[in-house]
C-alpha cells in the first residue's frame, strides 16, 4: 500500500526516511513556502482548489454552534470557510505542524477581521492536544499525505469527534480519466517544481509535494483505512477526474 510504514521507515516523497525524521522534514518544507503557500495553491490549480474546498464545506454542512477541528489547517482556509458558512456561534480550531504556517494563517485571519471564534495551535495530527469527543466536525485538506502515520492521524480524528460527528478529507488522489492522467503527470513533474522555484524560491519543496501525491493511497485504499480507524458510512467522490478526491465518514 502506498505510504505504508515498514521497518521504521516511511515515505517522504519518493525517498524512504526514518519515521522519527519525517515530521521535521515536512516542517522544513512548509517553513520555506508558508509566505506564498496560498498564492501557489491558486497558481498550481488554476483556482480550482477553491471549488474543491467549497464542496468540502458543503459536505460538512456547518450548523450554528458547531465546533470544527481543522487538521493540518495551515493558513486557516477551511476554518474560515466553515465559520463564514456556519455563522457567529460556530468555532474552529486550526492545528498545524508548522509554526510558520500557523503565524501566516493567524495574520491572514486578523487582516480579514476574524479574531473571535477561531483558535490556533501548533501540533501533530497523530497526537492532537485536544479532549476526546470535543468536536462536531473534523477536516483535513491537502495535509493527510504529509503525516508520518495515516493510521494514527485517522484514529485521532475519530477520537476528537463527538458521536454523530463527521470527518472529511480533501486530498490529491489518483486520476481516473484516461489521457487526463498522462497530461497531469507531465504537468506535475515538468511544471509544478519549476513554478515553485519561480514563486517561492524553493523547487525542492514542490518536487516533494508532487512526489507525495504519487505515494498517497488511492481512493479505495484510503476509504479502507478510514473504515479500519472506526469511521462508518465511509464514501468518496472524485473531483476533476480524480485529480483530487473528497472522502467522508462518521463517528457513530
| 47-99 pLDDT per residue, tens | 999 999 999 999 999 999 999 999 999 889 999 999 999 999 999 999 999 99
State yes or no: pLDDT of 239 exceeds 50.
yes
* Residue 205 burial (10 A CB sphere; 0-12, 13-18, 19+): buried
Q: For the chain, what is the domain count?
A: 1
Instruction: Give 84's contacts (C-beta < 8 A, 6+ positions apart).
Output: none
Per DSSP (E only), the strands in 21-101 are 67-71, 91-96
**pLDDT at position 36:** 86
Residue 4: band (very low, low, confident or very high) from pLDDT cuts 50, 70, 90 = low
Distance, in Å, from the CA atom of 166 to the CA atom of 199, rounded to the nearest integer, reads: 36
14 domain residue, yes or no: no
The answer to whether 40 and 67 are in contact (CB under 8 A) is no
Mean pLDDT over 147-155 rounds to: 97
**pLDDT at position 5:** 56
11 domain residue, yes or no: no
2 domain residue, yes or no: no
Residue 207: band (very low, low, confident or very high) from pLDDT cuts 50, 70, 90 = very high
Range of the domain at 51: 23-251
Instruction: Give 40's contacts (C-beta < 8 A, 6+ positions apart).
Output: 33, 195, 196, 199, 200, 206
**pLDDT tens digit sequence for 179-189:** 899 999 999 99
228 domain residue, yes or no: yes
Residue 1: band (very low, low, confident or very high) from pLDDT cuts 50, 70, 90 = very low
Q: Report the CATH number at residue 184.
A: 3.40.50.150
* pTM of this prediction exceeds 0.85: yes
130 domain residue, yes or no: yes
**pLDDT tens digit sequence for 6-61:** 559 999 999 999 999 999 999 999 998 888 888 888 888 889 999 999 999 999 99
Place of cell 501557489: 40
137 domain residue, yes or no: yes
Distance, in Å, from the CA atom of 117 to the CA atom of 68, rounded to the nearest integer, reads: 10
6 domain residue, yes or no: no
Q: 177-186 — which CB contacts under 8 Å span 24+ positions?
A: 177/241, 177/242, 180/241, 180/243, 184/243
**pLDDT at position 162:** 98
**pLDDT at position 228:** 98
8 domain residue, yes or no: no
**pLDDT at position 7:** 54
**pLDDT at position 40:** 86
Amino acid at each position: 500500500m502506498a505510504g505504508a510504514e515498514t521497518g521504521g521507515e516511511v515515505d517522504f516523497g519518493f525517498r524512504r526516511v526514518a519515521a522519527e525524521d519525517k515530521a521535521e522534514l515536512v516542517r522544513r518544507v512548509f517553513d520555506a513556502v508558508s509566505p506564498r503557500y496560498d498564492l501557489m495553491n491558486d497558481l498550481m490549480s488554476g483556482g480550482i482548489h477553491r471549488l474543491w474546498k467549497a464542496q468540502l464545506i458543503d459536505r460538512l454542512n456547518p450548523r450554528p454552534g458547531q465546533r470544527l477541528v481543522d487538521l493540518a489547517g495551515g493558513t486557516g482556509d477551511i476554518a474560515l470557510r466553515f465559520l463564514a458558512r456556519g455563522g457567529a456561534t460556530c468555532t474552529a480550531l486550526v492545528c498545524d505542524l508548522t509554526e510558520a504556517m500557523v503565524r501566516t494563517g493567524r495574520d491572514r485571519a486578523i487582516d480579514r477581521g476574524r479574531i473571535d471564534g477561531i483558535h490556533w495551535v501548533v501540533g501533530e495530527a497523530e497526537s492532537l492536544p485536544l479532549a476526546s469527543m470535543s468536536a462536531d466536525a473534523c477536516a483535513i485538506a491537502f495535509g493527510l499525505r504529509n503525516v508520518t502515520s495515516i493510521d494514527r492521524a485517522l484514529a485521532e480524528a475519530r477520537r476528537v469527534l463527538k458521536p454523530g460527528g463527521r470527518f472529511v478529507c480533501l486530498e490529491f488522489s489518483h486520476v481516473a480519466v484516461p489521457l487526463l492522467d498522462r497530461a497531469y503527470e507531465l504537468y506535475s513533474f515538468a511544471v509544478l517544481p519549476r513554478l515553485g522555484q519561480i514563486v517561492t524560491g524553493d523547487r525542492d519543496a514542490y518536487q516533494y509535494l508532487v512526489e507525495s501525491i504519487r505515494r498517497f493511497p488511492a481512493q479505495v485504499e484510503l476509504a479502507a483505512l478510514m473504515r479500519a480507524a472506526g469511521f462508518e458510512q465511509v464514501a468518496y467522490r472524485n473531483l476533476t477526474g480524480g485529480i483530487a478526491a473528497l472522502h467522508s465518514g462518521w463517528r457513530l
